[in-house]
Amino acid sequence: MMQQDGGRERINIAIDGPAGAGKSTVARKVAEQLGYVYIDTGAMYRAVTLSALRSGIDPLDGPEIASHAASLDIRLLPGEQGQKVLLNGEDVTEEIRSREVTQNVSQVAANGAVRRLLAEKQRRLADRKGVVMDGRDIGSHVLPDAELKVFLTASASERALRRYREIGDAQGVSLEQLEREIEERDRMDRERDVSPLVCASDAVVLDSTAMTIEEVCSAIVSLSRTKLAEAK
């Protein structure tokens, strides 16, 4: 059900999809165009992962990771270049995108206790509507009642190329290696027992392989306006 804010009607938008599909970039731009709040749930899992690695905790040590996550203060704030991520008051926006964090975040995200903890925080953030939230299980688990659900995907080779352009030279990794890592990340996300990557039955599937960011954003904004019109 949509809500009104000062006479302006709002809905929640859930954007799911595999690693490297462009969810965060698209979700942020869609939120800007609609005047909504953008919530990058993946950044929350990355912050937990970063903190665990700093503390020498094995990402596969479920109970220890869960206990550690419960002790953290993770905040998402608007920033000049998008969303700012604070971990216990420290700005870790850049550090959570490191290759080491990327290689370990799926293991942390597969922890049921961690997912329950963060999902509850995410639901509270969306209580007042007007939220664009991206992740792996937003439409299927975190916000199952979101008025608009989008499953954003792209070929593994295209996602690897996008990632390579973003970090390849800086982190000394080849395009081929990135594609292998993305395919392995896809497998782990699909096969994990807790909240696996899944396309919600009522989600609109958008394959962005041959689309520009602007085209994807335009499609989602158009879909959101259709949903608002239907709800009136």
CATH code of the domain containing 16: 3.40.50.300
Q: Hey, how many other C-beta atoms are within 10 angstroms of the C-beta on 231?
A: 11
Specify whether the CB–CB gap between 146 and 14 falls below 8 A.
yes
pTM of the model: 0.85
pLDDT value at residue 65: 97
Whether pLDDT at 75 is above 60: yes
- Counted domains in the chain: 1
Host domain of residue 36: 3-231
Q: Which of 25-34, 119-128, 168-177, 198-207 is predicted with the least confidence, judged by mean pLDDT?
A: 168-177
| pLDDT tens string 130-186 | 999 999 889 999 999 999 999 999 999 999 999 888 876 667 788 999 999 999 989
Phi-psi region of 34 (alpha: psi -120 to 50; beta: other; left: phi over 0): alpha
